[in-house]
Amino acid sequence: MKAAVITFPGSNCDRDLAVAFAAAGARVARVWHKDAALPPGTDVVGIPGGFSFGDYLRCGAIAARSPIARAVIDHARRGGYVLGVCNGFQVLTETGLLPGVLMRNAGLRFVCRMLDLRVETTDSAFTGGYAPGQVVTIPVAHHDGNYTADADTLARLRDQDRIAFRYVQNPNGAMDDIAGILSENRRVLGMMPHPERVIDPAQGGTDGSVLFRHLLGQLATA
């Protein structure tokens, strides 16, 4: 199972994401934003948190037009798996691989704390290791996590069971308490909370490791 973790200028969770994939048993390649191709045989791409290109213009906007983004879009269109965390989620909405947009937090404050999330669907390789409705504790750290989409998009996400996680207590004004969503083929997950920050008891929790281990297990048997 091969994972590729992208680094943009300003990414700061890339190493953590690589460690989380490796701890779950993946071989991990680190990929630079100027690379025009993913390593051959890449099964899953990780787009990390951080402040790619300084959040200039809009969060994730410049990264979404970088050379590697083209390759990630092609990978996703071929049915490849992509996990975007925090700034990675913002990048995924900017590429159009996921609908909607992450706006400035409604309270205007940077929110950095452990939060409870409800697992809203277990019908994906990312969330299949959790129990339906399970409440997991995963930290957030963002200024722009206020998920916003038009009414049709929200209805579609609900009807197609594509809301992966909801906040138990909404920290940022996100519509419908959305913390993470899936693509239509359920192989692209974007989420504001950081599962890679809770994979080892030394980090204060292990609720994130379920996501990585289940994903790797699914890919290994595929």
- The site for other proteins (CB under 8 A) is made up of 57-58, 61, 65, 93-94, 99-101, 103-108, 146, 148-150, 173
86 is catalytic: yes
- Cβ of residue 190: shortest distance to other proteins, in angstroms? 14
Whichever of 158 and 220 has its CB closer to other proteins, that residue is 158
d(CA 121, CA 113): 24
Query: Given 86, 94, 142, 214, which residue is catalytic?
Result: 86
Whichever of 63 and 191 has its CB closer to other proteins, that residue is 63
d(CA 195, CA 95): 22
Q: First-to-last CA distance in the chain?
A: 10
- Cβ of residue 96: shortest distance to other proteins, in angstroms? 9
194 is catalytic: yes
Long-range contacts formed by 59-65: CB under 8 A, 24+ apart = 59/87, 59/90, 59/94, 59/102, 59/144, 60/87, 60/90, 60/91, 60/92, 60/93, 60/94, 60/102, 61/94, 63/8, 63/33, 63/87, 63/91, 63/94, 64/91, 64/94, 64/95
Amino acid, res. 124:
S
Whichever of 56 and 131 has its CB closer to other proteins, that residue is 56
- Cβ of residue 88: shortest distance to other proteins, in angstroms? 17
d(CA 187, CA 182): 7
d(CA 147, CA 164): 13
- Cβ of residue 137: shortest distance to other proteins, in angstroms? 27
Whichever of 94 and 120 has its CB closer to other proteins, that residue is 94
Query: Given 33, 75, 194, 214, which residue is catalytic?
Result: 194
Query: Given 13, 59, 196, 214, which residue is catalytic?
Result: 196
94 is catalytic: no
Q: Which two tokens stand for residue 185?
A: 């083929």
Whichever of 39 and 173 has its CB closer to other proteins, that residue is 173
- Cβ of residue 101: shortest distance to other proteins, in angstroms? 5
Q: Active-site residue numbers?
A: 86, 194, 196
